[in-house]
Amino acid sequence: MEAGSFHSVEDFRLDPKWLIDPKHLFVGPRIGEGAHAKVYEGKYRNQNVAVKILHKGDTPEEALKKEASFMREVNMLSRVQHKNLVKFIGACKEPVMVVVTELVLGGTLRKHLLNLRPRTLDRRVAIGFALDIARAMECLHSHGIIHRDLKPENMLLTADQRSVKLADLGLAREETLTEMMTAETGTYRWMAPELYSTVTLRQGEKKHYNHKVDVYSFAIVLWELLHNKLPFEGMSNLQAAYAAAFKNVRPSAENLPDELAVILTACWKEDPNSRPNFGQIVQMLLHYLSSISPPEPVAPPRLFGHENAILPPDSPGTSSMVAILPREDMRGTPNSNFECNEKGLFSCFNCC
């Protein structure tokens, strides 16, 4: 382990107001999994939440590194609040590292786009989602935080699927620490070219960069929102990274309104310093949105000819979180209902 590659755990102190009491935390079905953590649906003091349980690491060195990353994520989550950022509720470090956030019920933007194919999003909806993402990023950058992993998998739709919230600050760093960061950060297809070595894509090679890496990633996400296609289609992740970094290849901005093409090409410029900041991006998107004429109002059809006809009762809704989850996300869960007993979180581990 290189000295100075990350802050020691002692440098980070969790404010007591953010400490989660494990006795009141209950874990339900698994709803997501990544390289560093698993995410479960849960309850905390009768509030529906998402419970992120981080892997501890297989060696003492790896465990220390993961603990430092956990404390860094919690430290940043506790400092930023925005309607387009998933709300932080609290965390605990013992006996396992857990981050608790609000439960956002609309699924990932990635899944939403896949379900929509081959259709595309309505242009106003796509720009609305892009504005949500840009505003969340403007907030993070104003606090000196670089996300480093902007992609549709890390963006969650609200239950009504009208807005997007940014999730997963697990790879985020404060900008003052960028000289310590490594080039394997993020996902290749969405990563800015300056994150790669100028010689090769060797994992772990260090390279300095700044907050403009998020602007490049945002441009790729915006392109995806507009086209509902995988960027750099036909290329592997590494081929896409190589093409972007060494051949200055970008997805096509043809067949788009000039104003949108200008935004995309500005955001994915090779020179990071030439890219706009998120405050400017928000203004450009708003200007474009205002140029789109609103849709013509459509009168609702009359369901009944007689003015005294009785409408059927509303369909019963559901307050169940589990009911809206895809069945594959409930695998490995013996019972979709929460078993809220006195043992709390740790009584659930055997079935998670």
User: Which residue among 11, 132, 149, 271 is the active-site one?
Assistant: 149
Q: What pLDDT score was predicted for residue 180?
A: 35
Q: What pLDDT score was predicted for residue 270?
A: 93
pTM: 0.75
Q: Indicate whether 216 pLDDT > 80.
A: yes
Q: Indicate whether 174 pLDDT > 60.
A: no
pLDDT digits (tens, 9 = 90+) for 98-157: 999 999 999 999 999 999 999 999 999 999 999 999 999 999 999 999 988 899 999 999
Q: Indicate whether 333 pLDDT > 80.
A: no
**Catalytic: 329?**
no
Tell me the average pLDDT across 53-71. Answer: 87
The overall average pLDDT reported for the chain is 78
Q: Indicate whether 159 pLDDT > 90.
A: yes
Q: What pLDDT score was predicted for residue 170?
A: 53
Q: What pLDDT score was predicted for residue 183?
A: 38
Q: Which of 71, 72, 33, 73 has its CA nearest to residue 53?
A: 33
Tell me the average pLDDT across 328-350. Answer: 43
Structural domains of the chain in order of their starting residue, each with its CATH number:
1-103 (3.30.200.20), 109-291 (1.10.510.10)
Higher pLDDT, 335 or 27: 27
d(CA 93, CA 216): 34
pLDDT digits (tens, 9 = 90+) for 43-52: 999 899 999 9
DSSP characters for 141-197? Answer: HHTTEE----SGGGEEE-TTSS-EEE---TT-EEGGGGGG-BTT-S-GGGS-GGGS-
Contact of 77 with 88, CB cutoff 8 Å: yes
Tell me the average pLDDT across 50-59. Answer: 89
Beta strands per DSSP E along the chain:
25-33, 37-44, 47-54, 88-92, 98-102, 145-146, 155-157, 164-166, 173-174
Residue 74: other Cβ atoms inside 10 A: 23
Annotation: binding site for ATP: 52
pLDDT band at 35; cut points 50, 70, 90 = confident
Q: What pLDDT score was predicted for residue 206?
A: 53
